[in-house]
Each structure stands twice: as structure tokens, then as C-alpha cells.
Amino acid sequence: MRVEVDRDRCEGNAVCVGIAPDLFDLDDEDYAVVKADPVPADQEDLAEQSIAECPRAALIRRD
């Protein structure tokens, strides 16, 4: 699985970073960035949780 960040929606709330710091980080402009592409199999549950809990629905699952 892959996760994409919609920069038009992302507000830098860092919910994803709090849930999955090995998968997400914030760039210099405070937008979320994906650190692991593709997402390792053992981290897919955390990626799914991040997608579900993003307050701006800025994370998109790509298979």
C-alpha cells in the first residue's frame, strides 16, 4: 500500500506523525510527508489509522 498527502487539504496538524512517526513527518512548511513508500506491511494498520483520523482527510490510500 502507498499513502499520498493532499497538500491542498493538509494543515500540518501532525495527527499522522503522532500515530505513525516512522511513516510520517512534517516538512519545512509544516505539511505532512510520507517517509516510507510503500508502507511496510507491519505498519499498514498505523497508516490506516492515520488516514482515518486525519482531521482534514488529507491522506489518501493508494494500492
Domains of the chain: residue spans and CATH = 2-62 (3.30.70.20)
Mean pLDDT score, 50-54: 99
pTM for this entry: 0.94
* Number of separate helices (H) and strands (E) present in the chain: 2, 4
DSSP state for residue 45 in the 8-state scheme = H
Percent of the chain exceeding pLDDT 70 equals 100
18-42: pLDDT as tens digits? 999 999 999 999 999 999 999 999 9
Residues 20 and 46: beta-carbon distance below 8 Å: yes
